[in-house]
Chain A
């Protein structure tokens, strides 16, 4: 379920590691846009936005399609879904858990008295009651 052949995930994650590109994806999740329309809210040249769109296109996250005179950029949800599946809910939950665990231990919590029932590595399992 987690291995994908459609688009190398490295490219997808590289594409997503940029705030402008993520913002472009958010906007494209609502509607397809021309590059000109995409560029408008940003303090960036049209060429710079076109380059960002190119990175997203190479990763398979968007496609460019001709609509009359202009090209529109459209989201490819399946690619994003593949990336989301790769970073599974399980992984996100456990990554957050381990961060919380590490943060807790950084505060050096005082352990309760050592429980007697913990099996020690060195002791034999066959301890008999006397």
Chain B
């Protein structure tokens, strides 16, 4: 058989069999048309009755979002019943009269409401038009009286997010809002719908999937006026999981009062496991007003506020660490063998390097100082010298050992990494070599160095606990509606700082002296009966080169940021705190007293006794003795 014949044979068989396919298609679609004829023509009236006259309506029952508690079970975020008013246009008898009556009862603009209703009316008559959300009880009472004269006015109860403490811990808990088009698109397959509320910031956002719960449904038989006759069956909503935070409400409250009216941040962390006891970003925002939709005016005011209340300073704001960084410069110098604790340098108030004078904060100078006194009095010249000896790359290496320069992993999202510069970074990013003059700035935490408040607190915590870099965390427990634990916050050691024996001891001794020895810059943090160690820092807002301008400019923005980091305890170290006050001036004068107030509060709360009991119960917790 030739190739040609073969092709013809194939085509012939194909042509013979093709009509069978056509017959199959006709049969199948004929059957479907018959089925449609049966459903729509023969039984059409029956189904119409089901659909319209005595229709069965499927009503979504919103699941209440999970409650958020502090570590002691105090409610931080909850839901409250809220009334919403809608108009069922199918049931309304006299539309104009009803609209007028409802507008009067709710204090709405009549013309505006009428316009809103008219826009919807030609389409979707059966879909209730939402008139007003979150209606007050008196207005509800007024509407109840109207409902007999004006059928079709619906008053529904919905759970609504409520933040009973107002602005408290606003940057931690965050807020919710109606799902946006972009969010809906990204989550269309996960059961989110238009009009849903979704977490927009903080814990509300990061734990949205767990807090959300699952909406329920009610299959309701309704009459031709849309009134429910009886519930046929229902799937109850599953409430969202409740979340217990590590935050201590009382401590948080005190911390926020201390920062009232000031721009800055406070982070208090338990150095034994990385749990966050308090985290304040000031100025705060009010999640209640965010959750119900801000007016354009409010939004403009917030977004143009020069103190940036929308920024979450806890983990997003990056500041030069100032003298707080001397902890790391000291560690690097001791580790590399560049100095010993006995090495001393002479400070005469400034140091000439290259063609510039690098000044010490104390004009008259500190005289001959070694490590201990240099930390206690925060001598800049000493650390210029030490920084030069250790070198920028060794300083950066040790700083990264302590977990700086990258996000800590706190559960607030969009965390800033901070910045720990070294010569490789400078070549890569700035396309320039590292100048040794810059090492001097870096050694005292100026120049390129940046840390976030939570990183500063973690630095203190790591020094306190003997070198374990924990992942700071806010979640203590997630529980389902019945109260049984779904998961607990994991205590994670990100890394362990490897240092020579003696290095941490020497640094801790210095930090103890900062608070407790004569001439220490952190004396303002002392609390009787507590062993407190700390480090002050003053972060220059404008680079040194521009110092002249800064002084000339004057006013609020010209002052330096005031840092204080510390750790404290009674026997063991139980808390590490970082305080930063923007444009506050000197850390010792401004931020140390705030730390003192926090420690005093913790003491009066019985935190240090409680912690001892806890430490005994969990012997695994790091036992870090303070230096004498």
Real binding pair = no
* Residue positions of B touching A, CB distance < 8 A: none
* Residue positions of A touching B, CB distance < 8 A: none
